[in-house]
Amino acid sequence: MITFLIRFLTVVLALFIASYYVPGIQVDSFYIAAIVAVLLGVLNLVVRPVLVVLTLPITILTLGLFLLVLNAGIFYFVGTFVHGFEVEGFMPALLGSLIVSTLSWLAHKLT
């Protein structure tokens, strides 16, 4: 339970770091960041595996780099319907998803 809480708070913190360093990403409050963290977790658990299977040929063709586009798409998708979390294009979504993914991976390795 503690590791789940640490990972969750790491994603929330990563969202704030992404909004601070990446122009085009805005997070209004901790509450909004928590909602976004939960939605990103659910979408990465449910939707992302389906998208990975559907885009497997292009993922193989690009040697796995297309997975970055999938992550950015999910990040941008959450920004389209959560008020208080704004992502203003593909490049901010890509950079934001890289920051959040890297920090959540680091938290996973450390816990």
In angstroms, the Cα distances linking 32 to 59, 82, 92, 93 are: 32, 8, 18, 17
Give me the mean pLDDT over the 77-88 stretch.
Answer: 94
pLDDT value at residue 110: 87
Closest CA to 74 of 56, 52, 59, 57: 52
Instruction: Tell me: pLDDT of 1 over 90.
Output: no
Question: For 26-54, what is each residue's pLDDT tens digit?
Answer: 999 999 999 999 999 999 999 999 999 99
